[in-house]
Amino acid sequence: MVTRMATTPNPTRNLPGAPARLLGAAAAALASSGACADQGPVSRLLFPKSAATYASDNDDVMLFVFWVSLFFFVLLMGLMAYWAVRYRRRPGVPQQRSPSHSLALELLWSGIPLILCCVMFWWGFKIYMHMHVTPAKAEVVNVTAKKWAWTWEYGNGGSSTETVRLADKESPVYVVPQGRPIKLLMHSQDVIHSLYIPAFRKKIDVMPNRYTTYWFNATEPGDYNLFCAEYCGDQHSQMMALIQVKPEAEYQAWLAELVNTDRFSLLDLGKKLYITKGCNACHSVDGSAGTGPSWKGIYMKEHEMTDGARLTADENYIRESILVPAAHIVKGFANQMPSFQGQLKDRELGALITYIKSLSDNGKDEVDRAVKQDDAEREERMKSKGKPNAAAPQDAPAAPVAAR
């Protein structure tokens, strides 16, 4: 088996004399530490598992800088301590005259750092360009960031409904293929966020009113954490997701299921959307205070607005609050919720409303009727899909609501 060191470029190969020997020693220390090997002890200590094509190269250059810096720190501090003792002032011994100029010494302490900096720049720039220039045939996934959730929309228009518990919060799961480049086309609906996947060794800011991109080619199947690395408000630390890397065949099967929300009942779909659309970042379902009003018991309850009006949270109010959240703001809360216009299909919007109803005693009967009706419609759609040449009806985006 060929180790990674066999294919790692040698930046000292064409350097002459003493600088080459010095850099060679640093490179030898780097190699012996396991820095250029995926399972090296220093790499395991400093970094999580690498899972993207450029991740291990990024580790190599960082550890090269680390070992060179450590080498010179020990050398210079050791010499300083030795000279401080060796040439200390002694009683009765006259002070020696210091040399005023040494061309060789000045060239040495200027030339070696210059060569080292050039090597670091060349190596780092090469990896930087690889990390930021997206391959031409990369699959594009649209990523939306908002306080405090991530939403990924794949090329077939689907979005994940899978969730997992990370720390103390349910978070969405997004799947990517192994061994193929993926390009994330990212934008923010509110403030600056930053998409960071530690196993991929890359962090890119996600900003409002512009697009930024993040590409990767995942190499190892497994589960990897995604974080927001730019402080974006009081629940910034909970803005997480899980990235699952799967073989191509499993990824394609998972992707085909994304647009089929009929595999969930109306109520179950509402529960999943509550997490995957980021509603749980601001709205609790147990009555506890949050950035927004709790959903528990909210249905058909009268609320006072910031403009003094009093409105009942019926179906129309909930629909408008989802699509045009700034139309009416409940007293005591700030206008922070982004609009979901064009992001929810009719059935998805109905699922969220049904879930909100299920959290109130006032909506239990309506929930039962809505779920039974939806089950019958789902069964008809599934039968229609099973018939030859039968076109299954497609969910259209929810009709927009104009702000009053």
| DSSP state letters, 282-338 | T--SSS---SS---TT-TT-EEEBTTS-EEE--HHHHHHHHH-TTSS-BTT--S-PP
Task: Report the DSSP pairing between strands 169-177 and 240-246.
Answer: parallel
pLDDT tens, 125-165? Answer: 999 999 999 998 899 999 999 988 899 999 888 888 888 88
93 domain-assigned: no
**CATH code assigned at 149:** 2.60.40.420
Percentage with pLDDT > 90 across the chain:
32
- 19 and 121 co-located in one domain: yes
In sign, the C-alpha dihedral spanning 203, 65, 134, 160 is negative
143 domain-assigned: yes
With a CB cutoff of 8 Å and minimum separation 6, the contacts of 150 are 143, 144, 172, 174, 195, 226, 228, 239, 241, 278
Provide mean pLDDT across the span 347-362.
86
**CATH code assigned at 310:** 1.10.760.10
Select from 226, 241, 258 the last residue of a domain. Answer: 258
1 domain-assigned: no
- 179 and 238 co-located in one domain: yes
395 domain-assigned: no
φ, ψ (nearest 5 deg) of residue 289: -70, 145
- 240 and 271 co-located in one domain: no
126 domain-assigned: yes
How many residues belong to the chain? 404
404 domain-assigned: no
- 196 and 221 co-located in one domain: yes
Compute the distance between CA of residue 103 and CA of residue 373 in angstroms, rounded to an integer: 90
Number of structural domains the chain divides into = 3
- Per the DSSP assignment, residues forming a β-bridge with 187 are 144
**Domain span including residue 330:** 261-386
- 167 and 275 co-located in one domain: no
CB atoms within 10 A of CB 177: 21
- Whether the per-residue pLDDT at 36 is higher than 70: the answer is no
Percentage with pLDDT > 70 across the chain:
84
- 32 and 110 co-located in one domain: yes
- Three-point CA angle 324, 325, 330, nearest 5°: 140
